[in-house]
Amino acid sequence: MIEKSLRTASVAFALLAFVGCAAPSSDEDTESTQASALGAAPTLHFKADGSVDVSGEVRSGARVDVVYDADRMPTCRGDIQGGPGWTVTGYYQLGDGAVRTFTAAGLSPDGSKPTFELPAAFEGTELHMWFHNTSRWGCSAWDSAYGQNFHFKTHAKASAPDWAGDLRWLNTRMSCGGGFGGEYCDRERQPLSSAGFTFETWTRQRAAVTELSFEVYEPGTTDWDDPDTWRKLDVRMYSRLGTTGPFQMRYVGLQRRSGNNARYAVNVRDLDPFKLWNTPRSKDECPKLPMRKAGGYVEVDFEFHFEVNGVELRPAGGGEHKGKFVEYGSPFDICF
């Protein structure tokens, strides 16, 4: 169930099954500097009286511990074989990212404690949380601040730069004025859509520049020609051909400064799985690629994300950025 449907459902259930809960007050949202100084994971305590206590600094890319009092939402209960036949599932979402779950109370199938690790983010945002109490007998109740969900301020991962983004795709026959990133190319760069890029036969044969680029801002580093930028910003790309299997890592080079930002770029031609293949004469010579037929062509999906100092640059909502490599299909007929 996606975020919107969960939130809508929480409002519907509130009249029937909601157990008094309120959003944390400003006092309860105060961070504990003592816990932060000790380096302990922050704790979010959802108490039986409906209040929420926050201890420590909630930071992206770090662990968060949760204490959920079972008496806070006692609607769905019942034991089976000497153990709880009910559970409280916690939902959490960092900003507009993916919705994730954990077991907050009751039956825990894997015996795990109520804790989770937030995805790393380039800047502070909000952590949204809500809870669903269910039992094996069909009972259902929600704890969601009357459909508004619980909100907690978060801080960026300590090593994160101030900002990273503006992922763009460039595919042109022009040579960028003799430079890898000239004024013409700046005008031609297009924001990468949710559908991703397509590297097809025209691009393979005729394009002079095929490039994925994005920018990073870190005060005192990217806003001047800092010779130690390469030391201060560890920039990587994780990619794979197809939609399953492990990702391969490669370092991403600094292209140049762009205003107060540093621009990083990847030559997509280097990633093309068809660039070195000749026509197979037997199935044994077929490339070991997750190819599929598409009319008179073959296609290979491509998934990727970037990472700057351990913080991932992904699409809004999570998941992977996408691309597709296309080649003429007839040379590979023997492979199908």
Per-residue model confidence as pLDDT tens for the chain (336 residues): 333 333 333 333 333 333 333 333 444 333 333 333 345 789 999 999 999 999 988 988 888 999 999 999 999 999 998 889 999 999 999 888 889 999 999 987 666 778 888 877 776 688 999 999 999 999 999 999 999 999 999 887 778 888 999 999 999 988 776 555 467 788 889 999 999 999 999 999 999 999 999 999 999 999 999 999 999 999 999 999 999 999 999 999 999 999 999 999 999 999 999 998 889 999 999 999 999 999 999 999 999 999 999 888 988 877 899 999 999 999 999 999
d(CA 330, CA 336): 11
pLDDT at 127: 94
Helix (H) or strand (E) holding 151: strand 150-153
93: which strand partners? 99, 128
Give the residue among 318, 267, 9 at the shortest CA–CA distance from 134. 9
pLDDT at 111: 66
In the chain, where the domains are located? 3-153, 163-335
Contacts of 275 (CB under 8 A, 6+ apart): 204, 269
Length of the chain measured in residues? 336
pLDDT at 20: 36
pLDDT at 272: 97
pLDDT at 51: 96
CA separation, residue 32 to residues 22, 77, 211, 231 (Å)? 21, 34, 45, 33
